[in-house]
Amino acid sequence: MMMNYVWGAMVVFSFISACFSGNMQALSDSVVNGGQEAISLVIKLTGMMCLWGGIMKIAEKSELTKVICNMLRPLFSFLYKSIDKNSLTARAMSMNITANLLGLGNAATPLGLEAMRRMQEENPDKSRATDDMVVFVVMNSAAMRLIPTTVATLRTQFGSASPMEIMPATWLSTLLSLFAGVTVAKLISRITSKNKENIFDLRFSKRSKVR
């Protein structure tokens, strides 16, 4: 729901800005180019999605995901109490987390979407995010990488004497940001979950059935 406001604000604000700054032609071009840019992004992503979908399937059938999931067990009992640690959902989630930690951004998204698909299967209200989904997406929207590969590559390119020296600072920043994001997500989940038997909730679920 929030995304509706964000998206609407972006479009309307752009138009108003262009009226005042005289960038109307540029704005008009950006609509066309933006569409093309999006498609080329999706094409790039398609290869990755298929590749990692396939690799993930191999990891799953060979039960490698189970091994990795077991290694991340403490994290699950801490962050995702309601998810069964032996389920395929937990395994897909741990693959996503591992890919993130290794700095494999291209793999993390496909694996994360796989986890979302699994979580959605167990979601009673298909139009509403569960508490776990919120925490999971917040974790993915913050970074949880141990090796900042892109940053290190660029720093090397621009002649840094020590491209990896920023790693400890990055870890600390990421940790603080993850902590803040997850805490806020969990707190709000707890507050709002009390209203579950509320009339409003019933009405919303009815409306979504009609759609």
Shortest Cβ 18–other proteins spacing (Å): 4
Nearest to 204 by CA among 118, 117, 124: 124
Shortest Cβ 97–other proteins spacing (Å): 13
Please give the structure tokens belonging to residue 177: 């940001």
> Over the range 180-196, which residues count as b (16 or more CB within 10 Å of their CB) and which as e?
ebbeebeeeeeeeeeee
Shortest Cβ 146–other proteins spacing (Å): 10
Residues in Cβ contact with 129 at an 8 Å cutoff, skipping those fewer than 6 apart: 137
Residue 76 vs 116, nearer CB to other proteins? 116
Output DSSP code: residue 124. Answer: S
Shortest Cβ 4–other proteins spacing (Å): 9
> Dmax of the chain from CA atoms?
62
Angstrom distance (rounded) from CA 35 to CA 23: 18
Residue 13 vs 86, nearer CB to other proteins? 13
Residues in Cβ contact with 179 at an 8 Å cutoff, skipping those fewer than 6 apart: none
63 torsion bin: left (phi>0), alpha (psi -120 to 50), beta (else): left
Residue 32 vs 197, nearer CB to other proteins? 32
Residue 74 vs 157, nearer CB to other proteins? 157
Shortest Cβ 32–other proteins spacing (Å): 9
Residue 61 vs 74, nearer CB to other proteins? 61
